Amino acid sequence: MEEVRIMISVIIPSIKEKIVTMDSIPSGHEIIIENIPNCSRARNRGAYESHGEYLFFLDDDISFPSELIEEVVEILGKHPLSLCCIVEFDDDKFYCVSRFMAMRRKVFMALGGFDERLAFMGEDIDFGYRAITSNISIIPIQKELIVHHGAKTSLSQHQINLLKNQLHVPYIQLKNMCLFKLDIFKAYFTSNPIKLLLRIIGTFLAIWKLCEGRLLT
């Protein structure tokens, strides 16, 4: 039997029984579901188990036009050293979102995959910043094409999530200091005592994670 070369691999981290995203993926592509309770580790394992030249990392609760995958592959074919993803903006900085993220295998391998110390939040932001510092082009995907069917977040929950961010943002910024420089210190000048406390805790955690990484290598 002649072996069929797999061009596209779709990796979805999920512990759900019903994966909405499956309805938008055309047939014929390799699909890998990883149910590890660590998004970064799940994506990494899925990538290493896959066989495709083009890797698509998708959330489990999105829908999109079925032709989008082929269109992104065409873009990556013309721009091999690039990363296609949703891009969000925060003040004068932009960051990548892994709700829909695609790249060629060699780009993923060159960047060393997702940082597994960032298990649930910020791993896509860190991945995007490392891509930039490695001279990988970021090609935005039109955000409106990706419909997110996740549970709606209340205002209070959104505020809680913003506070949680203070625990992992220092780690991402210290890892990618060449992009942030003195901006790292701006967050410490805040009148919100809870935000400041979480930021300080996050900074100590970041230093510990970075030191731990050096000791283990």
Q: Which whole number is the average pLDDT over 111-123?
A: 88
Percent of the chain with pLDDT over 90: 53
pLDDT digit string, tens, across residues 9-32: 999 999 888 999 999 999 999 999
Q: Which whole number is the average pLDDT over 162-185?
A: 69
Q: Which whole number is the average pLDDT over 109-124?
A: 90
pTM: 0.81
Separation of alpha carbons 168 and 73, rounded Å: 32
Please name the amino acid found at residue 123.
E
User: Does residue 162 carry a pLDDT above 60?
Assistant: no
Q: Which whole number is the average pLDDT over 78-100?
A: 87
- Going from the C-alpha of 133 to that of each of 98, 110, 173, 176, 178, the distances in angstroms are 18, 12, 12, 8, 8
Residues 6+ apart with CB under 8 A from 124: 85, 95, 96, 97, 98, 101, 114
CATH number of 8-148: 3.40.50.10090, 3.30.830.10, 1.20.120.530, 3.90.550.10?
3.90.550.10
Q: What is the DSSP string of the chain?
A: -PPPPP-EEEEEE---SS-GGGGGSPTTSEEEEE--S-HHHHHHHHHHH---SEEEEE-SSEE--TTHHHHHHHHHHH-SSEEEEEEEEETTEEEEEEEEEEEEHHHHHHHTS--TTS-SSSHHHHHHHHHHHTTPEEEE--GGG-EE-SPPPPHHHHHHHHHHHHHHHHHHHHHTHHHHGGGGGGGGS-S-HHHHHHHHHHHHHHHHHHHHHHHH-
pLDDT at 117: 87
Residue 151: pLDDT band (50, 70, 90) is low
Percent of the chain with pLDDT over 70: 76
